[in-house]
A and B are shown apart, each in its own frame.
Chain A
Amino acid sequence: MNNAIEVSQLRKEFKSYSSRTGLKGAFRDLLTRNYKIVPAVNDINFTVKQGEMVAYIGENGAGKSTTIKMLTGILEPTSGKLRVNGMNPHREREKFTRTIGVVFGQRSQLWWDIAVQESFRLLKKVYKVSDEQYNEHMGHVIKTLDIGPLLDKPVRKLSLGQRMRCELAAALIHNPPLLFLDEPTIGLDVLVKLKIREFLKEINEKYNTTILLTTHDLGDIEALCNRVVMLDEGKIVYDGELDALKNNWAEEKEIHFQFMNHVNLSELNSLPLQFSTDWEYDEKNQTYIANIKGEDENISQLISAVVSHFKIKDVKIHETSIEEIVRNIYEKGMN
């Protein structure tokens, strides 16, 4: 089995400038500026096998995008080695770019003022995709992502969800064996997220496409990736299965209740349950929060017990977010 990505001791440093104070300081800044060298990516190592779907996660500023920019050949590393699709992204740039697809969720690769299909047409020529290949492959992509009716609209008239589906299609025109997705689901509603997840899964099954994606949505990871690489301040703090990560660090679930009538905490604590539940009252939102551990089964038991005793106005199940997991790991240390 070939490795799609091999990274060893990869490092990227940025100069971070700081301003001196006062007018005198401003004049001195004109001549020489103070700066610190900050490693955004700090000597990381990992490999991704062909066909794997890996979630690359971490808090904002952890260095995820910087890594992706190095892997795609946009930024040159400060030091370290990387081979992507068996190539050095910088040295064999043109050949290399034909083997990857990239979506930056916060940035469009489509031409803003003209119809989506014109962008597709240009990319088809740029990647030298034959009419047959295009019709077969893209016909399917367009149907699955349900973007047929959007093709003759200018990009600026599309909603975020519509645009993101088109972006994804654009990144796949040349059917690349490796796909980088930097926050592809940011700001999207649930239905679009589901559609995109479905689609990525299908692409991966059909073509054995390797996918590296960054996201803040645990749902994305659960739906797609068995493996998680977690970054914190430029260093990899976890590389392994999602389940292990969640079992260790996200075992507590919060369930938020709002009731029609006034309820006492003691009443809630005395509910007949076979597992221990920790109740809190959030005065500001007038919400009662149950913290429970263990099986997902417990959630339904808890809810049915509560519902049979009290009239409820609202229930929310709060999943631990990636940020909280990272914070947990950070506070309690690894292992």
Chain B
Amino acid sequence: MEKYLEMIRMRFLMMLAYRTDYYTGILIYSINIGAYYFLWNAIYGEKSSIEGLTSIQMTTYVAIAWMARAFYFNNIDREIALEIKEGKVAIELIRPYNYLGMKTMQGLGEGIFRFFFFSVPGMILVALIFPIQVPHHPASWGLFGLSLLLSFIINTQINLLTGITAFFFYNNAGLIRAKRVIIDLFSGLILPISFYPFWAQDIMKYLPFQGISYIPSMIFTNGFTGGEIVYALLQQSVWVLVLLVPIRLLWTAAKKQLIIQGG
């Protein structure tokens, strides 16, 4: 257990070593939130509500979706691919720990860092600038927190899966980029799932992506009520369990296939 905590701490140190990334991150997120705010304002115009979301709820959705992203988002798929390409994974395999578990902890370290030094102050700032509505009920905060944690796990699991493919295809950069686009699109970050045509919503119901952004954001904006929340959390938990299976299979196959580059 201690080694995992230590790994989180290491990641904190690394984030501090890369301060410029932190500042550019703030810039990029501010631009995104601002741009989507004005875009949605124009779309709403005089309308008070679209697809069950009021204009204030929509603004809140945009803000929280991006702030949540700062927590669940990480690049461990790219890191894993790089470690495989450069042969660094050899070092990881002679350590008495689970490589994927350690990678997950690094992602978590990154997430916690950005949560406290980015999302929380960011959300306070956004709340001062834009008209948004935060949950009144402490329970909603709790449910949102739980949902956010599950969203981190799902996103990280998908990252692990994409990362491991580098064991099989020497160059999986295209796959990683495709995954990123798919997640931004189908997770509900850019467009809430309820705004998609019905047939598309039907398909997405069977995919894990809405567990990443749509579900926590809807809980935060009070877009879901009572039973819907429970169902959504259950849906996330099921995906967390289901995704363990392909990770396990792919990892076992990958170690057999392992080709270490270089001396």
B262 close to chain A: CB less than 8 A = yes
Q: Is A301 an interface residue (CB 8 A)?
A: no
B96 touches A106 (CB 8 A): no
A73 lies within 8 A of B96 (CB): no
Chain A, interface residues (CB within 8 Å), range: 20 to 34
When C-beta atoms are compared, the residue in chain A nearest to B4 turns out to be A125
**Binary contact readout A308-326 vs B (1 if CB under 8 angstroms, 0 otherwise):** 0000000000000000000
Residues of A within 8 A of B255 (CB): 76
Given contacts A65-B263, A104-B90, A104-B91, contact A98 B96 (CB under 8 A): yes
Report whether A114 and B17 are in contact in the complex, using a CB–CB cutoff of 8 Å: yes
Complex contacts, A73 vs chain B, CB 8 Å: 93-94
In the complex, the answer to whether A97 meets B90 with C-beta atoms within 8 Å is no
Q: Nearest CB to that of B16 among chain A residues?
A: A114
CA distance A182 to B262 in the complex (A): 12
Is B196 engaged at the interface, CB distance under 8 Å to the other chain?
A: no
B79 within 8 A of A: no
A166 to B106, CA, bound (A): 23
Contact A94 B260 (CB under 8 A): no
| A109 in contact with B91 given A114-B17, A126-B97, A154-B17 (CB within 8 Å) | yes
> Contacts of B7 on A, CB cut-off 8 Å?
122
Please determine whether A114 and B258 come into contact, CB atoms closer than 8 angstroms: no
Interchain CB contact (< 8 A) of A97 among B6, B17, B95: B95
A103–B13 alpha-carbon span in the complex (Å): 24
Q: Does A20 contact B (CB under 8 A)?
A: no
Of chain B, the residue at the smallest CB distance from A123 is B95
CB-contact partner of B94 in A65, A97, A113, A114, under 8 A: A97
A107 and B96 within 8 A (CB): no
Given A107-B88, A122-B10, A97-B262 contact (CB < 8 Å): no
Contact of A74 among B86, B94, B97 (CB under 8 A): B94
Q: How far is the CA of A107 from the CA of B96 in the complex (A)?
A: 19
Contact with B87, one of A105, A107, A125, A127 (Cβ below 8 angstroms): A107
**A107 to B14 alpha-carbon distance, docked (Å):** 19
A residues less than 8 Å from B258 (CB atoms): 74-76
Q: List 15 A-B contacts (CB under 8 A).
A: A69-B260, A74-B90, A74-B260, A93-B96, A94-B96, A107-B88, A107-B91, A107-B262, A111-B10, A113-B17, A113-B18, A114-B13, A118-B13, A125-B2, A182-B263
A residues adjacent to B (C-beta < 8 A): 14, 65, 69, 72-76, 93-95, 97-98, 100, 102, 104-107, 109, 111, 113-114, 118, 121-122, 125-127, 154, 182-183
